[in-house]
Amino acid sequence: MPEWARPDPAAPEAPEPGEPGARQAAPRSLPSDAVEPTNRRVIASVPAQEKKKPENVDELRAAMYEILSAPAPAAPTKKERREAREARRASRESGETEELSDDQWREKARGILLRQLTASDKTAKQLKDKLLEKDCPEDIADEVIERYAQIKLVDDERFAKTWVAARARSRGLARGAIKRELRTKGIDDETAAEALEQIDDETEEQRARELVRAKLRPESMGVDRDRSLRRLVGMLGRKGYNGGMAFKVAREEWEERFGQH
């Protein structure tokens, strides 16, 4: 036996239980209304501890892994989705306006505008029409659109210039037709006129000649001169070119293409 485990000879020996002199543990007294404990094991509920904020990269990664490994919430069933659609449809048909606070309407309006502007650039009028279509209060619609205009997310002048260049290039439209389109989108005449300065008379006539030449490619267009000219002038007229310039361009280009026949 090692030295440290040997008993000290000078220490008094402890009496065995039951021997005279041995101290007996006094029975613990219970309150009169207490229930005597049984042998059944009781597990006490421990309140959940709040998760501490990650303090380093490893703890942050562990927290992210715990979130990603957590089971995803159950997706709604087909029946639940159908019932939700029917409820929304019934609400629209009944003409009931969604009960939202002003702050909730502002948040909803901002979301609608962002989705609309993500798809394509739009004018203030187009965006307001979309918000009113969703039953957004008019004053809140104006407020949110004005805020977006201040940070240049909504800019009618920019829209007009971009629209003029795109429509003249892709569709071959003349200034008159483009101006009518801008008016339907809420662009005022002054802003439209400034944007249309990108197209001058020479440029417009050159684009008209390109359109006519494309139509004159088939040999069948040289059979009946008058009929072909009517078709060409009508095509240019639908694209906004004035009648005098349309007839002049159509006649000259037909003569250039089929005059020797």
| Residue scoring higher pLDDT (141 or 47) | 141
Is the pLDDT reported for residue 18 higher than 90?
no
- Tens of pLDDT, residue by residue over 63-95, are 777 767 777 667 778 888 888 778 767 766 766
Cα 4 to Cα 132: distance, rounded to the nearest angstrom:
91
Average of per-residue pLDDT across 17-34: 48
The CATH classification of domain 99-154, taken from the options 3.40.50, 1.10.443, 1.10.10, 1.10.340: 1.10.10
Cα 60 to Cα 51: distance, rounded to the nearest angstrom:
12
pLDDT at 44: 47
CATH dotted code for 155-199: 1.10.10.10
Cα 109 to Cα 145: distance, rounded to the nearest angstrom:
9
User: Is the four-CA dihedral 256, 259, 260, 261 of positive or negative sign?
Assistant: positive
Instruction: Provide the angle, in degrees to the nearest 10, between the axes of the packed helices 201-215 and 225-238.
Output: 130
Is the pLDDT reported for residue 45 higher than 50?
no
Is the pLDDT reported for residue 17 higher than 50?
no
CA atoms within 13 A on the CB side of 173: 18
- Tens of pLDDT, residue by residue over 215-227, are 999 999 988 999 9
pLDDT at 80: 82
| Residue scoring higher pLDDT (197 or 56) | 197
Instruction: Give the single-character DSSP code of 135.
Output: T
Q: Are 187 and 123 in contact (CB under 8 A)?
A: yes
Cα 23 to Cα 88: distance, rounded to the nearest angstrom:
81
Is the pLDDT reported for residue 46 higher than 60?
no
**How far from chain centre, in Å, is Cα 110?**
9
- Any long-range contacts for 152-159 (C-beta under 8 Å, 24+ apart)? 153/113, 153/117, 154/113, 154/117, 154/122, 154/123, 154/124, 154/127, 156/123, 156/124, 156/186, 156/187, 156/188, 156/191, 157/191, 157/194, 157/195, 158/121, 159/121, 159/122, 159/123, 159/185, 159/187
Is the pLDDT reported for residue 43 higher than 50?
no
Average of per-residue pLDDT across 158-187: 95
Q: Are 208 and 214 in contact (CB under 8 A)?
A: no
Cα 158 to Cα 123: distance, rounded to the nearest angstrom:
9
Mean pLDDT of the chain: 81
pLDDT band at residue 172 under the 50/70/90 scheme: very high
pLDDT band at residue 25 under the 50/70/90 scheme: very low
**In 10 A of CB 237, how many CB atoms?**
16
Q: Are 258 and 222 in contact (CB under 8 A)?
A: yes
